[in-house]
Amino acid sequence: MKTIGIIGGGQLGLMIAEQAHVLGARAIALDPAADAPAFSVCDEHIVAAYDDAAALEELCRRSDAVTYEFENVPGEVLVPLCKRYNIPQGFRPLHDSQDRLREKRNAAEHGLRTPRFEAVDDAASLRRAVDALGMPCVLKTRTMGYDGHGQCVIRSEEDIPAAERLLSVPCILEEFVRFDFEASVVLVRDGRRTVSFPVGRNIHRDGILDLCVVPAAMPDGLRGRMVEASERFMESAGYTGILAIEYFVRGDEFYFNEMAPRPHNSGHYTIEGCTTNQFRELVRYLLGEELVAPELVSPTVMKNILGEDLVSAERIAAEGRQGVFVHLYGKTESRPKRKMGHITFTGMTAGEYDREWAEGFVGGVTAR
Ligand code: AMP
pLDDT at 367: 86
Is 116-175 in CATH node 3.30.1490.20? Answer: yes
Q: Amino acid letter at 359?
A: E
Residue 135 Cα to ligand 1 midpoint, Å, equals 15
Tens of pLDDT, residue by residue over 289-316, are: 999 999 999 999 999 999 999 999 999 9
Residue 199 DSSP label:
P
Residue nearest to atom 5 of ligand 1 (CA): 148
Q: Which atom of ligand 1 is nearest to the CA of 145?
A: 2
User: Among the atoms of ligand 1, which is closest to the Cα of residue 177?
Assistant: 20
CATH fold of 3-87 reads Rossmann fold (3.40.50)
The pLDDT of residue 27 is above 90: yes
User: For residue 218, what pLDDT is reported?
Assistant: 96
pLDDT at 151: 92
Task: Write down the pLDDT at residue 147.
Answer: 65
State the Cα–Cα distance between residues 271 and 257, nearest whole angstrom: 25
Q: Please give the distance, rounded to the nearest whole angstrom, from the Cα atom of residue 174 to the centre of ligand 1.
A: 9
* Residue of the CA atom closest to atom 19 of ligand 1: 176
Q: At what angle do helices 278-287 and 11-22 cross, to 10 degrees?
A: 60
Q: Residue 4's pLDDT is what?
A: 98
Task: Show me where the domains of the chain are located.
Answer: 3-87, 116-175, 181-360
Substitution candidate for ligand 1 out of 98, 117, 138 with most atoms within 8 A of CB: 138
Closest by alpha carbon to 46, among 38, 305, 148? 38
- Give the separation between CA 341 and CA 179, rounded to whole angstroms: 28
Residue 148 has a pLDDT of: 67
Query: Which atom in ligand 1 lies closest to the alpha carbon of residue 148?
Result: 6
Looking at ligand 1, which residue's alpha carbon is closest to its atom 18?
A: 176
Query: Taking the CB of residue 317, how many other CB atoms lie within 10 A of it?
Result: 17
Q: What is the pLDDT of residues 131-170, one digit of tens each?
A: 999 999 999 999 987 666 789 999 999 999 999 999 999 9
* pLDDT over 90 at 348, yes or no: yes
pTM of the model as a whole: 0.97
Specify the ligand 1 atom closest to the Cα of 149.
2
Residue ID of nearest Cα to ligand 1 atom 11: 207
Q: Give CATH for domain 181-360.
A: 3.30.470.20
Question: Residue 270 burial by CB count (10 A; 0-12/13-18/19+): exposed, middle or buried?
Answer: buried
Q: Residue with the nearest Cα to atom 1 of ligand 1?
A: 148
In this structure, what are the phi and psi dihedrals at residue 54, rounded to the nearest 5 degrees? -65, -40
- Which of 276, 115, 82 shows the shortest CA–CA distance to 186? 276
Q: Ligand 1 centroid to 152 CA: how many Å?
A: 10
- Average pLDDT over the chain, rounded to whole? 96
CB 230 within 8 A of CB 187: yes
Q: What average pLDDT does this structure show over 186-204? A: 97
Q: 35-39, 97-101, 305-309, 362-366 — which is least confidently predicted?
A: 362-366
Buried b / exposed e across 101-114, counting CB within 10 Å, b at 16+?
bebbbbbeebebeb
- Whole-number pLDDT of residue 229: 98
* 181 closest CA partner among 166, 202, 200, 199: 202
With a pLDDT cut of 70, the percent of the chain lying above it is 99
- Per DSSP, what are the bridge partners of residue 194? 189
